Amino acid sequence: MAITAAMVKELREKTGAGMMDCKKALVESDGDHEKAVVYLREKGLAKAAKKAGRATSEGIVANFIAADGKSGALVELKCETDFVAKNEDFRAFADKLAEKVAGMDVTAGNADDLGDAADVTDLIAKLGENMGVGRFAKLTTDGKLGLYIHSNNKIGVLVDMKGGDDELSKDIAMQVAAANPVCLVPDELPQENLEKEKAIYLKQAMDEGKPEEIAQKIVMGRLNKYYKEVCLTEQPFIKEDKKSIKQLLKEKDASIGGFVRLALGDDAE
């Protein structure tokens, strides 16, 4: 009996087993749907569906840098426990996904954009926990990529560096991991957001009884403080807080083309 894509899809949706496993089950069962379900259960492959509702609050952020150093990727792979997050098979699958993303014509996305590559049902069956691919990000450069993966493998950063040395690249990536900037420079902040911040600061100053002229100066001071919180180039350098990242880059005759940061679970906040 010819096995159609629709038959495979129906079996996969019912059992949660992998696409190739569903196809093999249907072949072995001569297209009989119920026999195919039994086949998958006997092989332990259908149990993945039972785990689909469990929370996946643990996991890792995997990374891959191309051999030429010009493209890199970060991928979030989630699971239920830290025990599985440390499993070699789990980490190997995450690394494989990161390598795939690095070769794709994308900048960011989630499991839906990875198609069959994001199918973790076989791994669920093998390791016995619910899992899922979260977000991914890719960065390319004509300079060099700075990479930082936190020791717990739950935060990953890639930075597009122009100039500077490897130590600077790592320092900037570490800065992004620790300080979590929203953007690179103040000009990248949406004007709407800035206007809201200004309105808040102005009201605060006026409520404090400051004359409008003084209140406007206070607004600018608080806005500059806001820049230091959310803009990478304005932030104090984590290794030397008397110096801004902008000053550090000037000293090293370097610049930043962009950055990406993935932290496990940030999309759930």
What pLDDT tens digit does each residue of the chain (269 aa) get?
889 988 988 888 777 777 888 899 999 999 998 888 878 876 666 555 556 657 678 999 999 999 999 999 999 999 999 999 999 999 999 999 999 999 999 899 998 888 888 888 889 888 888 899 999 999 999 999 999 999 999 999 999 999 999 999 999 999 999 999 999 999 998 888 888 888 888 888 888 888 888 888 898 998 899 899 999 999 999 999 999 999 999 999 999 999 999 999 886 43
Residues 6+ apart with CB under 8 A from 45: 15, 17, 18, 21, 25, 121, 122, 125
pTM for the whole structure:
0.77
**What domains appear along the chain, each with residue ranges and CATH number?**
5-51 (1.10.8.10), 58-184+250-268 (3.30.479.20), 186-249 (1.10.286.20)
Q: DSSP letter at 181?
A: -
Pairing state of beta strands 58-65 and 71-79? Answer: antiparallel
